[in-house]
Amino acid sequence: MAGTILNSSQLLVKYGFIKSDVKHLYKYDEKQEFYVRKDVKEGEKTYDPKHADEERDEEASLFMGNTYTDTGFPKTVKRFRLVQEAFNMSLENLYFWTLNHLRHEMGLPNVIKVTDMFSASENSAFFGQSAQRLSIQEDRASSFLRGISELVKTLFQIVRELRLLDERLEVYRDWKKSKSADATLKGIFSDFAENKGGQMQPGSIYHLANQVGYAVLPDLFFNTIVYDKDDVDKVVDALGFNQNVKTVLKRKLYQFVVWVQKTQEELEARRKFQIKYLRQHYITIKMYMTWVKPYLKHIRRLTMNEKQLDGPDIISSFETSTTEIEIIAYLDGKNGVNPCALVTYEFNTRPVMQYTQEYHRGPVHIGRGTMTLRAYAWTKHEIAMYKKMKDNEDLELLTMVDDQLKSAMELLGDDLMKYIKEAEGKLSSEEDAAKSEAPTRKEKLEPITSDQDVFGPIVNIFKGFVEIGGLFVPSAFKSQPKKKDGLAEPSSSARKAAIKTSIFVIWNVYKNYKKANGMLAW
């Protein structure tokens, strides 16, 4: 199912809100940070909507009877809904009153904003302001994305040039070790250094070989091995050939040795410069990615929601807007389970621009507001997974740039990271660590002190008693929660205690808001 758009039920399964009787079919992938099926091949992601532990909303109808629909929210044991429609009153009061009541009076100080979406009709004043701001953000983001694309394209050229330099330098580094390397360098010298532009130059080895008396010169040049320019005279004088041939041979060998030394120094310097330039280039790409991500996030938030625009509450010719806000308020609970209140606000409003102060002109929302409170008992991991589920589309947008660089790195292979580590000076230290033996690394991580040497046998005896006692009294010696799929699973009693607190909180928020605003309450 890779590459397909998941519906709300499948997203619940993907991020761990799965029915208990089928949860064994899935496992948590720590690398990708979401759940995958155990019985499918690697790379495939199959999520059955029926496996979602999803809330079903009951809506009564006089003609159709009671109908149940999936809400896209995890299943909850208690839910309260409040609908308020008022004119000549700001609906921001509904949000900020409940937010402050949750934080201060109800003791849930940790608040996470999960959703904040706004849509306005095409002919409204808000739409024009939002479109203007959106175009500015899109222009800035597109300029950064173009820069990243050009930098990634140049990255391929830099790595390719470094690969060619390494191939050439490998011959130079093996020059004094291998006769084949010496013959290869002499071939490069005679083909490129002496013959420029693909034409045989006068005075080159092969040009002189065409003259009478110098036919043996190429054989002598390739078979006479000299590694130091000071040894050229000594080696050549020992050969049994005429003086003219030996004189030309000395000149060619001397030029070759000097050429090898100078070109190796030049290539080494060029390689160092290219590696530093590659690191600077890579850092620039990462910096551009850091800069562009806020713009992409702003674009996502400024873009109107298509579902809201297609809904019946927004008419293009009316001055209407729709706002959806969702927050999670929670308390750091005991045993890793947190009482959570998930509050969802839906505003169908008519925005009116008016002066709220002498120097400030801002919108006042008038219309209908719906607040839904749900009670949950979640761990920190479950809260984070729910946040990721709601941010799924935003995460895909923000990881678009990361995927571009990731795909480039995969195409370049391990050479890119090898060169970057070499530029940062990490390559040599990692190679030294790899060469070290395993016992040595273990001793460094877990040093044995003198006290442990003396009291080690006594400590081991008491450890044995603790292990034996744990068999008879597990609760006294095993306080850690059980782990399921690599994650700590809290006890059912801890969840029950947390859910009671959550129900108490949402009921009081619901009741107190109605009392504070003169509504019917009991």
pLDDT tens digits in sequence order for the chain, 522 residues long: 444 567 888 888 888 899 888 888 888 888 778 888 887 665 455 788 888 988 887 665 555 556 677 888 999 989 999 988 876 666 788 889 999 999 998 989 999 998 887 776 666 666 666 677 778 878 888 888 888 888 888 888 888 888 888 888 888 888 888 888 888 888 888 777 776 655 666 767 777 777 767 778 788 888 888 888 888 888 888 887 778 888 888 888 888 888 888 988 999 999 888 888 888 888 888 888 778 777 776 666 666 655 655 656 665 656 677 788 899 999 988 788 999 999 999 887 766 666 555 545 555 656 788 899 999 999 999 999 998 888 765 555 555 556 656 666 666 666 777 777 777 775 444 445 444 444 443 333 333 333 444 344 434 444 444 444 444 444 433 444 455 555 667 788 888 999 999 999 999 999 999 999 888 877
491 φ/ψ angles, rounded to the nearest 5 degrees: -75, 160
- The H or E element spanning position 156 is helix 125-173
The C-alpha angle with vertex 76 and arms to 73 and 78, in degrees rounded to 5, equals 125
Instruction: Tell me how far apart the alpha carbons of residues 74 and 341 are, in angstroms, rounded to a whole number.
Output: 12
Q: Any idea of the CA torsion for 215, 217, 223, 225, to the nearest 10 degrees?
A: 180
On whether both 154 and 253 belong to a single domain, the answer is yes
Residue 309's Cβ-count burial label (10 Å; 0-12, 13-18, 19+) is middle
On whether both 181 and 158 belong to a single domain, the answer is yes
401 within domain boundaries: no
7 within domain boundaries: yes
On whether both 250 and 196 belong to a single domain, the answer is yes
On whether both 363 and 511 belong to a single domain, the answer is yes
Note the helical H segments in 174-224: 179-188, 205-208, 217-223
On whether both 261 and 283 belong to a single domain, the answer is yes
On whether both 173 and 216 belong to a single domain, the answer is yes
480 within domain boundaries: no
In 10 A of CB 459, how many CB atoms? 12
398 within domain boundaries: no
On whether both 188 and 323 belong to a single domain, the answer is no
Instruction: Tell me how far apart the alpha carbons of residues 285 and 402 are, in angstroms, rounded to a whole number.
Output: 10
Q: Report pLDDT for 436.
A: 45
Strands of 361-378's sheet, edge to edge?
Answer: 79-86, 361-378, 338-355, 321-330, 110-120
User: What does pTM read for this prediction?
Assistant: 0.56
Q: Report in angstroms the alpha-carbon separations of 152 from 13, 155, 290, 413.
A: 36, 5, 15, 14
234 contacts: CB under 8 Å, gap ≥ 6: none
354 φ/ψ angles, rounded to the nearest 5 degrees: -150, 160
The residue from 74, 106, 139 where one domain ends is 74
The residue from 74, 96, 111 where one domain ends is 74
* Residue 47 near residue 36, CB atoms below 8 Å: no
Domain of 232 in residue numbering reads as 147-287
On whether both 367 and 346 belong to a single domain, the answer is yes
Name the CA radius of gyration of the chain, rounded.
37
301 within domain boundaries: no
Instruction: Tell me how far apart the alpha carbons of residues 21 and 318 are, in angstroms, rounded to a whole number.
Output: 49
Instruction: Tell me how far apart the alpha carbons of residues 262 and 68 are, in angstroms, rounded to a whole number.
Output: 82
On whether both 87 and 202 belong to a single domain, the answer is no
On whether both 8 and 70 belong to a single domain, the answer is yes
106 contacts: CB under 8 Å, gap ≥ 6: 329, 341, 505, 508, 509
93 within domain boundaries: yes
174 within domain boundaries: yes
465 within domain boundaries: no
DSSP 209: T
On whether both 39 and 85 belong to a single domain, the answer is no
On whether both 63 and 99 belong to a single domain, the answer is no
Q: Report pLDDT for 437.
A: 42
The domain total for the chain is 3
The residue from 38, 58, 74 where one domain ends is 74
